[in-house]
Amino acid sequence: MTPSTNPNKERIEKLIASRKKHRKSLTVSYLVDAISNGNTQALSETITLLESTNFKDYNKAQEVIKQLIPKTGQSIRIGITGVPGVGKSTFIESFGTYLINQGKRVAVLAIDPSSEKSSGSILGDKTRMSTLSANPNAYIRPSATGGSLGGVARKTRESILLCEAAGFNVVLIETVGVGQSEIAVHSMTDFFLLLMLAGAGDELQGIKRGIMEMADTILISKADGENVKKANIARLEYKNALHLFPPNDNNWIPKVETLSSYDNHGIEKCWRIITEFEKQTKSNGFFMLNRNQQQKYWMNETLKERILNDFFKNDTFKQLISQTEKDLVNGKLTSFQAAEYIYNQFKVKQQNDI
């Protein structure tokens, strides 16, 4: 069968075309009103526009966010990290359900740098959080795919704002414990939670020290059955280890607790800690200071990304770089001289443009 007569392909193409048409028909004012009324379909549509590589779509999403800004900011933004298999999604399922039973509305977003390759998220996947995703007071959105970590992170940050405007008052942002993505999540959340496994003697080696230093609370996961004893020992070890770290800017002493999402042990305690943290950092001024710093950080990150993109995607500079690379590998220039040469050409172009 030739591809053009493949009925499946035709069906999919028709579906994509009709989705595109539908998305085009969504006006900014419709999306703003619908999101303000807690419409999660409109929320998803806007996040999709935000993730679109089409400039018009992206701009439309930006306009929606701009109009919704007064309705944002009221949630507590919680970052959750830990190595794959530590129990993040099981925890989010239990914790999210607990919070909804307390009257909260919970949104779950994810930053998954590895999803670019698989063109599908391994995090935030609805099938991994089946109870929560079926709950009308929960909203689960898998990680944006494609683009740089910076780009994906910025879209996640903007998605937080959209979720807040839709009335979600707890936003959980999940990521895997692999390094850079934690820094991104840390710089868009109020509270940073690290899940760790109780290992045999290698407790402090599974995760980078820098990530432990960012944690406001460490939860030792799977503290049930035969694991309880090991988890309690690990808890004491981490507590001692954290004492050796310099104090955080927020004056908060990080907590270490055991957790079993299976037994619902530690879930309520975790929320109590977060509430206490919120109260303390709001009264000492850190909460707002941190959010303001985060806003400035993301403005600068966006600016850097735009400038780098303009530079590296510019045809003249692409050519110049590839020519200079030849001189570099032929030994005519050092790396430093090559960079200086390209940079000087860039400055000349800037001056000519002015």
**Site of interaction with ligand GDP (CB under 6 A):** 82, 84-90, 221-222, 224, 260-262
Minimal distance in Å, beta carbon 277 to ligand GDP?
Answer: 22
Instruction: Pick the closer one to ligand GDP by CB: 42 or 176.
Output: 176
Minimal distance in Å, beta carbon 101 to ligand GDP?
Answer: 18
Minimal distance in Å, beta carbon 256 to ligand GDP?
Answer: 16
Per residue in 207-224, is it b (16+ CB within 10 Å) or e — as a string?
beeebbebbbbbbbbbbb
Instruction: Pick the closer one to ligand GDP by CB: 36 or 264.
Output: 264
Instruction: Pick the closer one to ligand GDP by CB: 68 or 106.
Output: 106
Contact between 106 and 168 under an 8 Å Cβ cutoff? The reply is yes
Minimal distance in Å, beta carbon 122 to ligand GDP?
Answer: 8
- Least Cα distance to 302 among 45, 75, 65 occurs for 65
Minimal distance in Å, beta carbon 258 to ligand GDP?
Answer: 10
Distance CA(37)–CA(34), nearest Å, equals: 5
Q: Give the chain's length.
A: 354
Q: Which helix (H) or strand (E) holds 299?
A: helix 286-312
Distance CA(267)–CA(33), nearest Å, equals: 35
Q: Which helix (H) or strand (E) holds 84?
A: none
Instruction: Pick the closer one to ligand GDP by CB: 40 or 221.
Output: 221
Instruction: Say whether 161 sits in a helix, a strand or coil.
Output: helix
Distance CA(274)–CA(260), nearest Å, equals: 17
Q: What angle do CA 186, 91, 176 make, to 5 degrees?
A: 40
Instruction: Pick the closer one to ligand GDP by CB: 129 or 161.
Output: 129
Distance CA(199)–CA(234), nearest Å, equals: 8
Residue reference for tokens 């806003």: 295
Contact between 181 and 149 under an 8 Å Cβ cutoff? The reply is yes
Instruction: Say whether 255 sits in a helix, a strand or coil.
Output: strand
Minimal distance in Å, beta carbon 262 to ligand GDP?
Answer: 4
Instruction: Pick the closer one to ligand GDP by CB: 227 or 280.
Output: 227
Instruction: Pick the closer one to ligand GDP by CB: 87 or 142.
Output: 87
Instruction: Pick the closer one to ligand GDP by CB: 261 or 324.
Output: 261
Minimal distance in Å, beta carbon 96 to ligand GDP?
Answer: 12
Helices (H) and strands (E) in the chain, counts: 15, 7
Q: Which helix (H) or strand (E) holds 196?
A: strand 191-196
Rounded to 10 deg, the angle between the 149-165 and 286-312 helix axes is 130
Minimal distance in Å, beta carbon 174 to ligand GDP?
Answer: 8
